[in-house]
């Protein structure tokens, strides 16, 4: 299949040459596809002194299509290099898409575990019949070029309770063994997480299934299982959960269960906690770098009612900024990684009482300390704090996005990262987060605050992204 892989890589590289440098919505502090469609982050890792971010990628159509793995890498999280496509759907076991997965740094090489999607032609439901959800391993010695890949697990290797929906393997080493968690939809249409164990990362056996005491959605996508600050966390994206409270307003939600006990044996899952309350946040994945656990997520949403005008420029969606996780005050909290501070210019400081209005650039880091109730208006967006409720409303530039809410303690501080077409709002040091895309019409942006407090505003410089667009790179294999 090397000839097909080479052809697909060349086609993807040629499509990327259509990158539009004058696109007004192209983000500058968020990773986006050069062309085409982006969704789940994959294979996050720190390998050979560089951060690697892979992502679900359809280079030929901004509305989606057969999935590849796109790839960026960086030494410092603010200067990035766009690498060649790593994974292509070029084998019988992944012919309809190299779906989501994770990375394992082992023996000096990079091992990528992912779901190979195969859909057979016919009158099938693709849940109980007509689909192959294969667990595939790909290997790269240098982290950029693919050396080989092989089939590890097929549907017959999963427990009988699982339907054909088994996907998104997350792999890690713990002690002398390797573990893998995969999301599934059971035969009873209940979401669960399958736990596998291995001595060598190649031969796997199912050892446990994590589930709630009562059904919680029909499918759990993109599972992640890790220990942080002494607490085990099972992060999942449950589909089919319908609740009226904040955190469940999107088509699909994502969040985490605190896990008590041993995921390999007896355990209890605590109450589910949403991770992000904005319009555009799904499929988060974490990875460990030293003593830090970092996260990024798809800044988009599957089957959403709202749209994005970037399709006119041949691309759609981006990833959130990298965030550092901590388990504090009995909950998971997220904050932007400190490396982004290097993009700041000198601060502008504004104490305010009653009202403050300031002009803003397209890129800004806005930090506000306040005393309780606050109303913020930002170029078509409003954020209002009343008691324990935060309400985000988009009046202009939302392309169908309207209102989202979050419950917090009394508002003490906000941090807002503003890009050309993306906002990430962190309340109370990450107690609640709103991630959303938005497309303000006016050339200049303005911020108005009603309340009492202090605002510090930093103009931001763009991240550096080196793109492979020269003629030689079009044929890079």
Alpha carbons within 13 A on the beta-carbon side of 171: 31
Q: What is the DSSP string of 187-234?
A: TTS-EEEEEEEESSSSSEEEEEEE--SS---SEEEEEEEEEETTEEEE
Residues 216-242 have a mean pLDDT of: 97
Q: Where are the beta strands (DSSP E) in 372-472?
A: 374-378, 381-386, 389-394, 403-407, 413-418, 422-427, 432-437, 445-460, 464-466
Cβ(29)–Cβ(416) under 8 Å?
Answer: no
Burial grade of 72 (CB within 10 A; 0-12, 13-18, 19 or more): buried
pLDDT of res. 12: 72
pLDDT of res. 254: 97
pLDDT, tens digit, 9 for 90 and up, residues 167-193: 999 999 999 999 999 999 999 999 999
pLDDT of res. 475: 37
Distance of CA 103 to the CA centre of its chain: 15
pLDDT, tens digit, 9 for 90 and up, residues 296-323: 999 999 999 999 999 999 999 999 999 9
Query: Which percentage of the chain shows pLDDT scores above 90?
Result: 91
Write phi, then psi, for 472 (nearest 5 degrees).
-65, -40
* Residue 21 pLDDT greater than 80, yes or no: no
Helix (H, G, I), strand (E, B) or coil at 113: strand
pLDDT, tens digit, 9 for 90 and up, residues 111-136: 999 999 999 999 999 999 999 999 99
pLDDT of res. 17: 64
Residues 197-213 have a mean pLDDT of: 98
pLDDT of res. 15: 67
Q: Rounded to whole angstroms, how far apart are CA atoms 266 and 404?
A: 37
Whole-prediction pTM = 0.95
Determine whether 157 is an active site residue.
no
Write phi, then psi, for 451 (nearest 5 degrees).
150, -155
* Residue 197 pLDDT greater than 50, yes or no: yes
Give which of 162, 224, 223 is closest to 189, Cα–Cα: 162
pLDDT tier, 472 (very low <50, low <70, confident <90, very high otherwise): very low
Catalytic option among 23, 40, 147, 419: 40
Residue 310 token pair: 């970037």
* Residue 477 pLDDT greater than 70, yes or no: no
Instruction: Give the contacts of 22 (CB within 8 A, at least 6 positions apart).
Output: none
Q: Which H helix or E strand runs over 3?
A: helix 2-16
Residues 379-400 have a mean pLDDT of: 95
- Bridge partners (DSSP) listed for residue 239: 219
* Residue 473 pLDDT greater than 50, yes or no: no
pLDDT of res. 334: 97
- What's the CATH number for 341-460? 2.60.120.560
Of 16-30, 254-268, 429-443, highest mean pLDDT: 254-268
Q: Roughly how many angstroms between the first and final C-alpha of the chain, as a whole number?
A: 14
CATH superfamily of 2-336: Glycosyl hydrolase domain; family 43 (2.115.10.20)
Residue 373 token pair: 């109730």
Look up residue 1 and give its DSSP letter. Answer: -
Across the chain, what does the average pLDDT equal?
A: 94
pLDDT of res. 468: 66
pLDDT tier, 373 (very low <50, low <70, confident <90, very high otherwise): confident
* Residue 469 pLDDT greater than 80, yes or no: no
Q: Where are the domains of the chain?
A: 2-336, 341-460
């Amino acid at each position: 299949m090397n000839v097909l892989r080479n052809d697909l890589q060349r086609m993807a590289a040629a499509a990327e040459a259509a990158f539009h440098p004058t696109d007004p919505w192209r983000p500058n502090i968020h990773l986006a596809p050069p062309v085409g469609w982006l969704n789940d982050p994959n294979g996050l890792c720190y390998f050979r002194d560089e951060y690697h971010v892979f992502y679900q990628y359809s280079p030929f159509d901004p509305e989606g299509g057969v999935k590849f793995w796109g790839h960026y890498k960086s030494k410092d999280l603010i200067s990035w290099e766009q690498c060649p496509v790593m994974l292509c759907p070029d084998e019988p076991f992944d012919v309809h898409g190299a779906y989501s997965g994770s990375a394992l740094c082992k023996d000096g090489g990079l091992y990528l575990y992912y779901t190979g999607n195969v859909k057979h032609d016919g009158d099938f439901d693709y849940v109980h019949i007509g689909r192959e959800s294969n667990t595939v391993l790909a290997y790269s010695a240098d982290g950029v070029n693919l050396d080989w890949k092989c089939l590890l697990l097929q549907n017959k290797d999963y427990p009988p309770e699982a339907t054909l929906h088994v996907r998104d393997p997350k792999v890690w080493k713990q002690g002398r063994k390797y573990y893998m968690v995969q999301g599934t939809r059971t035969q009873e249409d209940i979401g669960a997480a399958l736990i596998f164990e291995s001595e060598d990362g190649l031969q796997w056996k199912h050892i446990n299934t994590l589930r709630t005491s009562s059904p919680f959605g029909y499918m759990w996508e993109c599972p992640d299982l890790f220990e942080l600050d002494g607490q085990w966390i099972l992060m999942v994206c449950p589909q089919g959960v319908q609740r009226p409270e904040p955190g469940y307003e999107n088509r699909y939600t994502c969040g985490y269960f605190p896990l008590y006990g041993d995921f390999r044996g007896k355990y209890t899952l605590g109450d589910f906690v949403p991770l992000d309350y904005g319009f555009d946040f799904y499929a988060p994945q974490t990875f460990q770098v030293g003593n830090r656990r970092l996260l990024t997520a798809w800044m988009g949403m599957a089957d959403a009612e709202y749209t994005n005008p970037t399709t006119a420029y041949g691309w759609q969606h981006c990833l959130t900024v990298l965030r550092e996780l901590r388990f504090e005050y009995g909950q998971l909290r997220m904050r932007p990684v400190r490396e982004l501070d290097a993009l700041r210019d000198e601060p502008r400081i504004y104490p305010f009482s009653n009202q403050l209005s300031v002009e803003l650039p397209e890129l800004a880091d806005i930090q506000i300390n306040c005393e309780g109730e606050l109303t913020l208006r930002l170029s078509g967006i409003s954020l209002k704090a009343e008691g324990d409720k935060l309400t985000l409303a988009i009046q202009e530039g939302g392309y169908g996005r309207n209102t989202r809410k979050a419950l917090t303690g009394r508002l003490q501080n906000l941090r807002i990262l503003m890009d050309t077409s993306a906002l990430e709002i962190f309340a109370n040091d990450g107690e609640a987060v709103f991630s959303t895309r938005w497309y303000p019409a006016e050339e200049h942006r303005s911020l108005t605050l009603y309340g009492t407090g202090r605002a510090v505003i930093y103009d931001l410089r763009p991240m550096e992204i080196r793109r492979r667009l020269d003629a030689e790179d079009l044929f890079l294999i």
